[in-house]
Structure 1
């Protein structure tokens, strides 16, 4: 494996984060802080506990997951789309670098940035509410697994997109609404039976539920099912990336 090639791609993508620090780090943190002020303080003050957890603490995993999903997709899709847009993707494809090394470099950098952002938001949340992490190992595991999975998903979107507007379609019109409807700000047990059943078709429910379990030991869905669904989506993304490089879809034409 060409470690030097992976390192070059990885460090180049990370360097872009520091050049756009306001957009990459500051904006998501400020946005999440506003969610804490509005939902945690204003609304949470008038709500009782949810599943034995104060409302302000209850929404912490959901807010972290919201930022993690959107930033993972955004970082990875923009990272691979820029070489396509500028034409430098052909230099990467013609270099003595395997497809696996290319994916590791781009996806690894995007996942790293997302994990750093998630940890910063976790620290920021501590300024607003008190919370505990019952299963710290599984919290880190879900954080890493989600970041890698949705960075792969963003990588696929970046290859699929043939214009700047398409980079925003999936995060803005699909992922963000699914996250809001996936139990980020409430327990799905609070919904009527019909809506509880329909909500289970939302894949984000399993991510948020598993991540919340790692914090408080409570979840809307069995944690084994949550982990299985996450791994299943990861496998699906890996198959899609393999097919893209095998066929050259929107890379060689």
Structure 2
């Protein structure tokens, strides 16, 4: 394995994040703090508990997941899109580095940034609410697995996109609404039928529920289904990326 090539891509992507530190870390933390002020203060004062958990604490996993999904997709998509945009992608494709090694470099950097951001948001939340994490290892596993899976998805979007409009289309018009409707700020058990059943077709429900289970030992769906969905989504993304490099889709033409 070409570890030097992987490290070069990884280091370059991490250096880019440090150059845009305000956008990469500070802005999401400020946004999360505003969520706590608005949702935790305004709604939390009227909704004391959800399933025996204080509302301010209840929304923490949803807030982290919201940032995790959007940042994983954004970091990975922009990482591979810029080489396409500038034409340097051909240098990468002709370099002595395999497709798998290239993906490890880009996706590894994007996932690292997302995990760090998630942990920073978790630390920020501790200033606003009392937190308990019943299953810390499961929490880290969900954090890493989700970051890697959606960084792979972001890599696919970066290859697919022909312009900045398409690059922002999926996170802005698909992922963020699905997260808001996926139980990030409420339990789907609070919904009447048939909306609760309809919510089960939202894939983000399984991510948020599994992550919330790692905090409080309870979720809207069984944690096994959450793990199965996340692992399945990761496998599908790997399959799509393998096809992209095999066919050269929007890379070589």
Aligned to 1:42, the other structure's residue is in SS state helix
CA–CA separation in structure 2 for the residues paired with 1:248 and 1:33: 43
Flag as ranges the 4+ runs of structure 1 deviating above 3 A: none
TM-score by length of 2: 0.99
Aligned equivalents of 1:40 and 1:227: distance in 2? Answer: 28
Partner in structure 2 of residue 17 of structure 1? 17
TM-score, reference length from structure 1: 0.99
Deviations along 1:136-190, one digit per CA (max 9) or x if unpaired, are 0000000000000000000000000000111110000000000000000000000
2:156 corresponds in structure 1 to: 156
Shift of 1:48: 2.5
- Residue in 1 that maps onto 2:33: 33
Question: What is the count of residue pairs matched by the alignment?
Answer: 253
Residues in 2 aligned to 1:18 and 1:232: alpha-carbon distance in whole angstroms: 32
* Number of the residue aligned with 1:73: 73
Give the Cα separation in 1 of the matches to 2:41 and 2:218. Answer: 22
Compute the RMSD of aligned alpha carbons. 0.5
Residue 52 (1) aligns with residue 52 (2): yes
| C-alpha distance in structure 2 between counterparts of 1:40 and 1:149, whole Å | 29
Structure-2 residue corresponding to 1:96: 96
1:183 lines up with 2:187 in the alignment: no
Match of 1:124 in 2: 124
Please list every run of 5 or more consecutive structure 1 residues that lacks an aligned counterpart in the other structure.
Answer: none
Aligned equivalents of 1:38, 1:218: Cα separation in 2:
25
Partner of 1:166: 166
- Distance between the aligned counterparts of 2:71 and 2:53, measured in 1? 27
Structure 2 unaligned runs (5+)? none
Q: Is 1:198 aligned to residue 195 of structure 2? A: no
1:31-57 deviation digits (Å, cap 9, x = unpaired)? 111001100122101113101100000
